[in-house]
Amino acid sequence: MSTIVNGAGKVVDFVDQRITASNWLKRNIRKVFPDHWSFLLGEIALFSFILILLSGVFLTFWFKPSMAHIAYEGAYVPMRGVGMSEAYASTLELSFEVRGGLLMRQVHHWGALVFLAAMSAHMLRIFFTGAFRKPREINWLIGVTLLVLGVAAGFTGYSLPDDLLSGTGLRIIEGGMLAIPIVGTYLSSFLFGGEYPGDDIVARLYPLHILLIPGLIIALVTAHLMILWYQKHTHWGGPGKTNHNVAGAPFFPIYVAKAGGFQFIVMGVIVLLAATIQINPVWLWGPYDPSVVSAGTQPDWYVGFLDGALRVMPPWEFYIFDRPITMSVLIPAVILPGLILTPLALYPWLEQKATGDTREHHVLDRPRNVPVRTGIGVAFIVFYILLWIAGGNDFFATILEIPVNWITWSIRIGIFALPPLAFWLTKRICLGLERRDRDKVMHGRETGIVMVSPDGEFSELHAPLSQADAYQLTWHERQLPSDPGPATDANGIPNPNYRAKRVQAKLSRFYFGDVVQKPTREEVEAAHHNGHHDAVEAGHRDEITSGQQ
Amino acid sequence: MSANNEHNSGHGESEEIARREPDEVAAVGDPIADPGLHHNDERLTDVDPKAGRRAERQVAGMFTLASLLMVGFIVAYVAIGIHPDDPENGVDIGNVQVSNLALGLTLGLALLLVGAGAVQWARSLMTSPEVVHERHELRSDDETRQATLDDWNTGVEETGFGRRKMIRNSLLGALALLPLPAVLLLRDMGPNTGGTPAERKEHTIWAEGVRILTDVTFMPIRAADLEVGSLVNAMPATFEELPEHGPERINERAKSPVMLVRMLPDEIHVAEGRENWHVDGILAYSKICTHVGCPISLYEQTTHHMLCPCHQSTFDLADNGKVIFGPATRSLPQLPIAVDDEGYLIAQSDFTEPVGPSYWERTR
Ligand code: HEM
Ligand code: FES
């Protein structure tokens, strides 16, 4: 045994004699981690966050969270003599007078973009594969909270350097706050320490940015991972992979090596981005001046959809008791985030209503097998992307050489028309894929070889699937719409739960009414006997009458 | 560690099931029987010792290259100076960019190679088989649940929480009040003087007779200085008197800026009561967008349209600053102006309405 292994043994021995570590280790060191590319998205989020923490601490060694007014005398000549805040001056110092300072700033900012992108993609993967179902609802909620905290971290960070862009972002936040009825002006006054912008805001955002928000994120990520660990990872179905087991590589050494390696890969990629693609060159924007704005600048991508919502709102304001209610700001800035986050957070329970299912689920869904959920997800993505495009309407107008107003108007209409269309289309595609899977199981794979029968009939030769391949297409559960049952029992006594059951059945029909079911054994056998001729009925209902198998 | 180890490892949570036998028949309602876990095919590195050695060299090569790159990082740090020899000269941006690139490339590639090496090691050389663990229902059994509930009830019983109503209620009362001191402590985040937040929004430092100065250079402006079609950003002369330090200056920057535009007097559609607010076709409008407060900046001379770059609210400066497109709901406030004895443009008064976005206290 090498000395390293010996050393590790000594450490384990030391710890074990004090906190019985071996007992826990023995049970966990070979913990199973299933492998799939989509399971890496959450890891990217975690690893980019770690890099953000490291680079962020580096930045704090120079950054001065102060809005005290100074005349710049640093190394960046074009700015000498210009009045600015200490925060902005220290950001210039970080960029120009600290070796690697610019790199760390860019690493920090790129890390933030990657962090939020990875969290979002991770969340979509959880959604589309049904990984949020019981028993993982708590982790879903934690995830939603983390996403919000991530945006808050990004926004507070973006505001710290006190350059022109960060100030403009804060101004828009202030405008949004003012639209809140009754308390708006007070909220703004307390946040900014009086009138906007004042000279307190950077010092106030700073502890939120470097302490409170990262602290909460760390706490929640820890809980997230502990729950994940305890519940064991979900896995895809397949030969030998069921709801009662989990198959994959052992935590030590495979997962440790792969995930540990992946940590370095993620860090490496972010550092390379920071080395080669400039981000937020604050010296070009200049210090914040509330009377100056530079056209064509965009916020970080994760606030783009809110900015877009602000842009496409028609001017809508009305008065209650002679007080203005500015819907054109309230809707995008206050109502829309709530309208997105509430259903997002509650989705696991919404779907549980439809399935009426209280069992544990550890096998993931193929998105096609839950067409309605997949459709809802795609509709949301389309909605989000439209708002995001709206956030760059001036940019797209320049590229497409059309008036901005056209884009704004298209999006105003599209935001209502396209998500339902996307839902419908996605659902059709899913059903089509399900039908194809069903065909394959019943008749085998199409070979492309055309046969002519003795009586001149053409048909394509189908090659039967192997058992493993056929199982790959049929391991999912059969989910049938539920039946509310009779309104009254045999004695004519009304069922008190009937109404609730009917609502549930309705939802369930919405979700599962059109699903193309996998064939039953009898159907497969019959199909094999009849050769290749029988037609497959769409949405065919099987003999099985109720509930799920 | 051998595969053998897997089979008799542990009890309880991570108990492992032996390799599942394939199912003979499909589960009820299922068309196809579960053929059982398919163990991964052997890798080339498992069967061909040469391939194994090659993979080993690859992995070690990546780790070694990473070390070299980190040496490169140190070299780049020391060799590419960004500090000017003479502080008077300031920094050379080119040097900063080169330093950034060199440091980032060496560090980034080093990290990437360490990572890629580890992953490659795991994929091609580590010998762990696929492991299968049994899952157990997460819910505790009824007995444990009952025992827990009993323990809880015993505890509650022992406190007498339910019986001693006076203690309970007074405690709940005290706890309910606890947030108050915490919230109250935040009170001084906002100022104590100067009226309500809304009142502070109602005034700027514009006032009767205050000269209109060009922004940046702070020069007084004569009507004749402005040509038809031009636009000038301007500030009140009182701005210069504000103290250098403290928030007043920047706060006024967020409220007082105006834009002067000049058009032909007959191009202007003057609203009632504003007949004498302009000077020979020179109009002054607040520069602060009434949507959410960006400074407005894009002027189209021919149409007299003023566009806010933030969300494209468009205002017609020839028509009293009316909104003609975009999300803003209010016209741009107009500043009534006049000319003083020396021929310079001055304000007739403060703005007649608050500038900037709508807020609750602001009446029609
Ligand atoms: C939790 C996730 C975090 C996110 C998403 C985030 C994001 C950001 C962003 C986008 C900036 C603007 C950077 C720029 O372009 O200059 C920033 C600045 C900054 N961040 Fe973070 N940050 C996070 C955590 C942290 C932590 C944990 C620390 C320190 C312990 C930190 C310290 C700083 C400092 C000092 C600045 C200002 C320096 C500068 O702008 O150059 N951040 N952050
Ligand atoms: S701030 Fe001007 S349009 Fe939004």
Mutation choice for B interface testing from A86, A264, A475 by most B CBs within 10 A: A264
Residue B203 to residue B355: CA distance in whole angstroms:
9
What is the structure's pLDDT at B130? Answer: 85
Q: With CB atoms and an 8 Å threshold, state whether B31 touches A179.
A: no
Do A173 and A225 share a domain, yes or no? yes
Do A22 and A102 share a domain, yes or no? no
pLDDT exceeds cutoff 90 at A326? yes
Query: Is A77 near chain B, with CB under 8 Å?
Result: yes
- Pick from A319, A316, A335: which is nearest to A327 by CA? A316
Do A273 and A179 share a domain, yes or no? yes
Query: Is A137 near chain B, with CB under 8 Å?
Result: no
What is the structure's pLDDT at B7? Answer: 37
What is the structure's pLDDT at A529? Answer: 77
Query: Is A362 near chain B, with CB under 8 Å?
Result: yes
Indicate if ligand 1 lies below 6 Å from the C-beta of A218. no
What is the structure's pLDDT at A155? Answer: 96
Do A95 and A117 share a domain, yes or no? yes
Within-domain flag for A126:
yes
**φ, ψ at B18 (rounded to 5°):** -65, 165
Element (H, E) at A85: strand A83-85
- Pick from B354, B294, B286, B348: which is nearest to B320 by CA? B286
**φ, ψ at B222 (rounded to 5°):** -95, 150
For the CA of B294, the nearest atom of ligand 2: 1
Question: What dihedral do alpha carbons B319, B325, B326, B330 form, nearest 10°?
Answer: 30
Determine the average pLDDT of the residues in B280-295: 96
> What separation in angstroms does the CA of B179 have from each of B158, B174, B185?
29, 10, 10
Within-domain flag for A90:
yes
What is the structure's pLDDT at A432? Answer: 97
Query: Is B100 near chain A, with CB under 8 Å?
Result: yes
Do A79 and A203 share a domain, yes or no? yes
Residue from B286, B288, B297, B310 whose mutation best tests the ligand 2 pocket (most atoms within 8 A of CB) = B310
- β-strand partners of B235: B213
Of A185, A269, A293, Cβ closest to residue B198 = A185
Sequence-ordered list of residues with C-beta below 8 angstroms from that of B141, at least 6 positions apart, any chain: none
What is the structure's pLDDT at A541? Answer: 38
Helix (H, G, I), strand (E, B) or coil at A424: helix
What is the structure's pLDDT at B216? Answer: 83
Q: With CB atoms and an 8 Å threshold, state whether A271 touches B104.
A: yes
Phi-psi region of B36 (alpha: psi -120 to 50; beta: other; left: phi over 0): left
Which A positions 504-543 lie with beta carbon below 8 A of chain B?
A: 518-521, 523-524, 542
Output DSSP code: residue A255: I
Q: How far is B272 from chain A (nearest CA, A)?
A: 23
Q: With CB atoms and an 8 Å threshold, state whether B253 touches A291.
A: yes
Residue whose CA is at the smallest distance from ligand 1 atom 1: A214
Third-level CATH fold of B201-347: Rieske Iron-sulfur Protein (2.102.10)
The three-state (H, E, C) secondary structure of A165-222, written as one string:
HHHHHHHHHHHHHHCCCCCHHHHHHHHHCCCCCCCCHHHHHHHHHHHHHHHHHHHHHH
Could you tell me the sign of the dihedral formed by the alpha carbons of A423, A428, A433, A435, in that order? positive
pLDDT exceeds cutoff 50 at B10? no
Indicate if ligand 1 lies below 6 Å from the C-beta of A191. no
Ligand nearest to the CA of A157: 1
- Assigned token pair, B294: 């960006």
pLDDT band at A536 (very low <50, low <70, confident <90, very high): very low
> What separation in angstroms does the CA of B81 have from each of A121, A355, A405, B97?
40, 65, 50, 11
Give the chain A residue nearest B30 (alpha carbons). A520
Cβ atoms of B120 and A258 closer than 8 Å: no
CA B97 to chain centre: 26
The pTM (predicted TM-score) of the whole model is 0.92
What is the C-alpha end-to-end distance of chain A, expressed in Å? 52
Output DSSP code: residue A548: B
DSSP B66-106: HHHHHHHHHHHHHHS--S-SSGGG---HHHHHHHHHHHHHH
Express each pLDDT in A443-453 by its tens digit: 888 888 888 88
Express each pLDDT in B223-277 by its tens digit: 999 999 999 999 999 999 999 888 999 999 999 999 999 999 999 999 999 999 9
Percentage above 70 pLDDT, chain A: 96
pLDDT exceeds cutoff 50 at A405? yes
Do A17 and A91 share a domain, yes or no? no
Residue given tokens 């009825």 in the structure block: A181
Helix (H, G, I), strand (E, B) or coil at A151: helix
Element (H, E) at B307: strand B305-307
What is the structure's pLDDT at A23? Answer: 86
Residue A367 to residue A402: CA distance in whole angstroms:
38
pLDDT band at A104 (very low <50, low <70, confident <90, very high): very high
Residue A32 to residue A247: CA distance in whole angstroms:
6
Q: Count Cβ neighbours within 10 Å for each residue of A502-512 and write b for 16 or more, e otherwise.
A: eebbebbbebb
- Pick from B363, B270, B348, B352: which is nearest to B316 by CA? B270
Give the number of other Cβ atoms within 10 Å of residue B100's Cβ.
26
Cβ atoms of A94 and A49 closer than 8 Å: no
Cβ atoms of A116 and A158 closer than 8 Å: no
Indicate if ligand 2 lies below 6 Å from the C-beta of B323. no
Express each pLDDT in A133-168 by its tens digit: 999 999 999 999 999 999 999 999 999 999 999 999
Residues of A in contact with B118 (CB under 8 A): 257-258, 260-261, 264
Residue B256 to residue B287: CA distance in whole angstroms:
8
Do A21 and A57 share a domain, yes or no? no
Do A505 and A538 share a domain, yes or no? yes
Could you tell me the sign of the dihedral formed by the alpha carbons of A329, A331, A333, A334, in that order? positive
Do A78 and A10 share a domain, yes or no? no
pLDDT exceeds cutoff 70 at A237? yes
Q: How far is B279 from chain A (nearest CA, A)?
A: 24
In A208-364, which residue ranges form alpha helices assigned H by DSSP? 213-231, 256-276, 282-285, 304-312, 327-330, 336-355
- Pick from A149, A127, A110: which is nearest to A38 by CA? A127
- Assigned token pair, A474: 């049929």
What is the structure's pLDDT at B212? Answer: 97
CA A51 to chain centre: 20
Express each pLDDT in A270-280 by its tens digit: 999 999 999 99
What is the structure's pLDDT at B2? Answer: 35
Mutation choice for A interface testing from B30, B89, B201, B215 by most A CBs within 10 A: B30
Do A125 and A4 share a domain, yes or no? no
pLDDT exceeds cutoff 60 at B8? no
Give the chain B residue nearest A227 (alpha carbons). B138
Residue A101 to residue A94: CA distance in whole angstroms:
5
Sequence-ordered list of residues with C-beta below 8 angstroms from that of B340, at least 6 positions apart, any chain: B209, B211, B346
Indicate if ligand 2 lies below 6 Å from the C-beta of B102. no
- Pick from A409, A411, A351: which is nearest to A384 by CA? A411
Helix (H, G, I), strand (E, B) or coil at B315: strand
Q: Which of A85-89, A267-271, B162-166, B279-283 comes out lowest in average pLDDT?
A: B162-166
Number of domains in chain A: 3
Percentage above 70 pLDDT, chain B: 92
Q: How far is B166 from chain A (nearest CA, A)?
A: 37
Average pLDDT score, chain A: 91
Residue A53 to residue A271: CA distance in whole angstroms:
14
- Name residue A369's amino acid: N
User: Residue A157 C-alpha to ligand 1 middle, in angstroms?
Assistant: 4
Within-domain flag for A297:
no
Q: Where are the domains of chain B?
A: 44-124, 201-347
Helix (H, G, I), strand (E, B) or coil at A71: strand
3-state helix, strand, coil in chain A (%, to 5): 60, 10, 30
A–B interface: beta-carbon pairs under 8 A:
395
Cβ atoms of A482 and A547 closer than 8 Å: yes
What is the structure's pLDDT at B16? Answer: 43
- Tally of residues, chain A: 549
Q: How, if at all, do strands A323-325 and A318-320 pair?
A: antiparallel
Do A482 and A521 share a domain, yes or no? yes
Query: Is A81 near chain B, with CB under 8 Å?
Result: no
What is the structure's pLDDT at A295? Answer: 67
Q: Which has the higher per-residue pLDDT, B183 or A549?
A: B183
What is the structure's pLDDT at A501? Answer: 86
Average pLDDT score, chain B: 90
Cβ atoms of B234 and B335 closer than 8 Å: no
Residue from B285, B286, B294, B331 whose mutation best tests the ligand 2 pocket (most atoms within 8 A of CB) = B294
What is the structure's pLDDT at A531? Answer: 57
Residue whose CA is at the smallest distance from ligand 1 atom 13: A109
DSSP B38-60: PPPPPPHHHH-HHHHHHHHHHHH
pLDDT exceeds cutoff 60 at B128? yes
Return the CATH number at A270: 1.20.810.10
Residue whose CA is at the smallest distance from ligand 1 atom 7: A154
Residue B66 to residue A496: CA distance in whole angstroms:
71
Do A40 and A25 share a domain, yes or no? no
Q: What would you report as the CA-atom Rg of chain A, rounded to the nearest whole angstrom?
A: 29
Residues of A in contact with B200 (CB under 8 A): 189, 194-195
Give the domain extent around A20.
1-30
Within-domain flag for A205:
yes
